[in-house]
Structure 1
Amino acid sequence: MNKKIGMNKLLEILLISTRLGLTSFGGPVAHLGYFHDEYVRRKKWLSEKDYADLVALCQFLPGPASSQVGIGIGVMRAGMLGGILAFIGFTLPSALALVIFALILQGLELGHIGWIHGLKLVAVAIVAHAIAGMAGKLAPDLYRKGIVLFALIASLLWQTAFTQVLIILIGGLVGYLLYKQSSNEQLLPLSFPISRAFGAACLAVFFGLLIALPLLREGVSWNWLAMTDSFYRAGSLVFGGGHVVLPLLEREFVSGGWLSTEQFLAGYGATQAVPGPLFTFAAYIGAVISGWKGGLLATFAIFLPAFLLILGTLPFWDALRRNKHVQGALMGINAAVVGILIAAFYDPIWTSSILKPIDFAFAAILFSMLMYWKLPPWIVVLTGAIGGLLLPVIPS
């Protein structure tokens, strides 16, 4: 009987998370709203307090916050297997759609396809919209605006493989020094069914892979290992939301010669049209490079840090999140990632997409559709693709 109940729980998790994966448009904040409505209000799998505490943890960690919340809920409901099934259901629909999109584009000369240029202009609007929202929340005062400016300048003028990591570390240090006594947030205790020993093991694996994969990559010339390292590091170092993965992946795969700017931005634009987590953009990149197997590897590698971090930090989170020094460091880190994202907005997005005045005019329309008219992203993407076909015939 217990085994039957357990199987029913697992099947229910898979079915509900798959439905969310097929219908959750709008990015991480919208995903959290869908999760709350389904898991807290309708299913009552966890309380308002537990959900709020879990969201607080996932906002604190690097990686895809909404995916980590989904994983955490699955674990709370049915253990490790529940977390895995919750992840598969929420992630598979968009990952599969983007792999198919990548395979369709293989062999096409993307620079001469109008609707691809339209998707690049969608990327301009989407990232500008993300920056507008993040900057107001994450850099409201002069000190954090200064961190944003530093991160922006450093990202543009000092482009190395380690630039973004160093910027994040410096942002965290400055935030720690400036804001270590600023936070007076009252936090409720958090309970979660994971032992400290298991959590410590997950954190050891997380940091071990973060150190070992680049070293192995230097010593072994194997494309699959290099891809795993690049995607794993991208998934490990993203603070501030899914859009921030853009500069990390661009630096790894466009600057590294794995794919063209046109391929990269076309995939990023298409990612806005599908439901589910933005991190499934990695599935598109992997499929462009190495077919469906590359898409599978990329998805696994970029989401693995999310699994290890959420499972590793839960047992220690209650004490950690009450620490004002940690909260101050996070304030600086969040400001730094805004600067990194602005730099990526200029290069490669703006420089490769806004080629004529009419491009800027159309991008402004797409941005207004998102920012002011509050239209769903898939409508903006469809408009961008159609507009890209029409732009060449419009006098300019």
Structure 2
Amino acid sequence: MSDTPSALPIAADRGTAGEVFRAFLRLGISAFGGPVAHLGYFRTEFVIRRRWIDEDSYADLLALCHFLPGPASSQLGFLLGVQRAGLSGGIAAWLGFTLPSALLMVLFAFSVTGLHGPVASGLLHGLKLTAVAVVAQAVWGMAHNLAPDRPRAAIALAAMVLSLVGGAFSLPLIAILVGGLLGIMMRLSPGLPSATLGRLPVRPGGGIFALILFALIFAATWLPQSGQTRLALFGLFYHAGALVFGGGHVVLPLLQKTLVLPGWIGNQAFLAGYGFAQAVPGPLFTFAAYLGAVIAPGGARLAGAAIALIGIFLPGLLLVYGVLPFWEGLRRHNSTRAAMAGANAAVVGILGAALYTPVWTSAVLSPADAACAAAGFMALVRWRMPPWTLVLLLPLVGAVEGGWSHL
């Protein structure tokens, strides 16, 4: 028998939440490399090895996750769990894939507040330079994939200008909406796959309930909150998770505008955590656990981490669960494809603006910093080094430089 995915039989339709949790916990511990690598891990594990789903259905679920805001790899993992064991399987998949990196980010939050002195400052500065290289790589790759022609490049440029000229939180959202409208006007198409899903594990009624719940929470947390409370913290992360198109890196400008500018967290601590997030396995959105632990209204760090983590993941999971029963009909409309193409092009511009500020302006303070950032970018793009290697090298360079300057 051939060992190609299409030739092998699909496993039994239903499994258990425990089985799903164990499978995704293994990936949560070992899946380094970022969202694109995660998609490859999922395909190898669940399409080829375990045969939980066929190749065409996998591609269709992936298209849905790219169409909606939220972390695509985590959303896809959640849907794979739903396909295997229902809603409890989806929750088990999210927990297994998310908890290892979330715990590492919380541990880093506990340690970073105790770092002092020139060597410690050098370490943190090295993490900030790592963020420069990683975000630059993300902009480079996304521009190639999401803005490959003149119309979409123009949308990306307009979104970047719009994001740079203003500091309001709503500007990235406006840029995405305008990008979607321009995509419809230009009749763009991202070329969604033509595959069809088999038996759907979510009924229309369950999908509608999830969408209503998403909207109710969004509206309730949109109301202004007085002070830095836990409810306000949850609302900030929920809105960020609800408005992020294009993957984990795009959450950076949204969180920077909502957390750094109002004074919830300093820019150095913000970028240090983002740099460290490149070294851990699992989803990049667990950066939220670090931020919640550092901010921690009332000093309860574990509670702050949990609130931020649930807040940023919940909207994306509700959306994919809610839209799944209707995806087959929705994706056939040309306007849906065009809006998706325009919105994704705008995302490239938003991330490009974030690369300049706050990432570049706060991290690159000297010609030596520029050289380190450029070398890190080349290592990622041309030499294909994994991001975690930069997390080891650039902070080490920063620590040596910081110690040397005070001898």
TM-score range, shorter chain: over 0.9
Per the alignment, residue 189 of structure 1 pairs with 196
**Deviation of 1:205 (Å):** 1.1
Q: Is the 8 A contact 1:35 1:70 kept in 2?
A: yes
Q: Does 1:297 align with 2:307?
A: yes
Letter in 1 for 2:24: S
Q: Does 1:114 align with 2:125?
A: no
Q: Does 1:104 align with 2:111?
A: yes
Per the alignment, residue 4 of structure 2 pairs with none
Q: Distance in 1 between matches of 2:159 and 2:220?
A: 27
Residue correspondence of structure 1 range 211-222 to structure 2 within 5 A = 211-215=219-223, 217-218=224-225, 221=227
**Deviation of 1:101 (Å):** 0.3
Q: Is the 8 A contact 2:15 2:84 kept in 1?
A: no
Secondary structure at the aligned position of 1:177 is classed as helix
Per-residue CA deviations over 1:231-257 (Å, capped at 9, x if unaligned) read 001101111111000000101110110
Q: Distance in 2 between matches of 1:25 and 1:199?
A: 32
**Deviation of 1:175 (Å):** 0.8
Q: Does 1:16 align with 2:23?
A: yes
The partner residue of 2:173 within 156, 161, 165 is: 165
Q: Distance in 1 between matches of 2:346 and 2:190?
A: 19
Q: Is the 8 A contact 1:254 1:261 kept in 2?
A: yes
Q: Is the 8 A contact 1:123 1:269 kept in 2?
A: yes
Letter in 1 for 2:83: M
Residue correspondence of structure 1 range 131-170 to structure 2 within 5 A = 131-170=139-178
Q: Is the 8 A contact 2:56 2:196 kept in 1?
A: no
Per the alignment, residue 79 of structure 2 pairs with 72
Q: 1:249 to 1:184 in 2, by over 3 A?
A: closer
**Deviation of 1:186 (Å):** 5.8
Q: Distance in 2 between matches of 1:162 and 1:268?
A: 22
**Deviation of 1:188 (Å):** 2.2
Q: Distance in 2 between matches of 1:185 and 1:55?
A: 10
Q: Does 1:363 align with 2:369?
A: no
Q: 1:263 to 1:206 in 2, by over 3 A?
A: same
Q: Is the 8 A contact 2:33 2:386 kept in 1?
A: yes
Per the alignment, residue 239 of structure 1 pairs with 245
Per the alignment, residue 229 of structure 1 pairs with 235
Q: Is the 8 A contact 1:151 1:336 kept in 2?
A: yes
Per-residue CA deviations over 1:262-316 (Å, capped at 9, x if unaligned) read 0000000000000000100000000001111101111111010122011100000
Per the alignment, residue 61 of structure 1 pairs with 68
**Deviation of 1:56 (Å):** 1.1
Secondary structure at the aligned position of 2:16 is classed as helix
Q: Does 1:43 align with 2:50?
A: yes
Per the alignment, residue 98 of structure 2 pairs with 91
The partner residue of 2:386 within 372, 376, 388 is: 376
Q: Please list every run of 5 or more consecutive structure 1 residues that lacks an aligned counterpart in the other structure.
A: none
Q: Distance in 1 between matches of 2:117 and 2:163?
A: 28
Letter in 2 for 1:331: A
Q: Is the 8 A contact 1:110 1:116 kept in 2?
A: no
**Deviation of 1:379 (Å):** 1.1
Q: Distance in 2 between matches of 1:67 and 1:130?
A: 18
The partner residue of 2:322 within 312, 315, 325 is: 312
The partner residue of 2:398 within 382, 388, 395 is: 388
**Deviation of 1:371 (Å):** 0.8
Per-residue CA deviations over 1:89-114 (Å, capped at 9, x if unaligned) read 00000000000100111244588611
Identity level (%) = 49
**Deviation of 1:208 (Å):** 1.8
Q: 1:151 to 1:183 in 2, by over 3 A?
A: closer
Between 385-394 and 371-380, report the one with greater CA deviation: 385-394
Residue correspondence of structure 1 range 233-382 to structure 2 within 5 A = 233-290=239-296, 291-382=301-392
Secondary structure at the aligned position of 1:22 is classed as helix
Secondary structure at the aligned position of 1:113 is classed as helix
Q: Distance in 2 between matches of 1:172 and 1:297?
A: 31
Between 351-360 and 371-380, report the one with greater CA deviation: 371-380
- Superposed CA RMSD in Å reads 2.0
Letter in 1 for 2:247: G
Q: Distance in 1 between matches of 2:311 and 2:388?
A: 27
**Deviation of 1:380 (Å):** 1.5
**Deviation of 1:15 (Å):** 1.1
**Deviation of 1:190 (Å):** 2.0
Using the size of structure 2 for normalisation, the TM-score is: 0.91
Letter in 2 for 1:349: V
Q: Please list every run of 5 or more consecutive structure 2 residues that lacks an aligned counterpart in the other structure.
A: 1-11
Q: Is the 8 A contact 1:286 1:294 kept in 2?
A: yes
Q: Distance in 2 between matches of 1:370 and 1:210?
A: 37
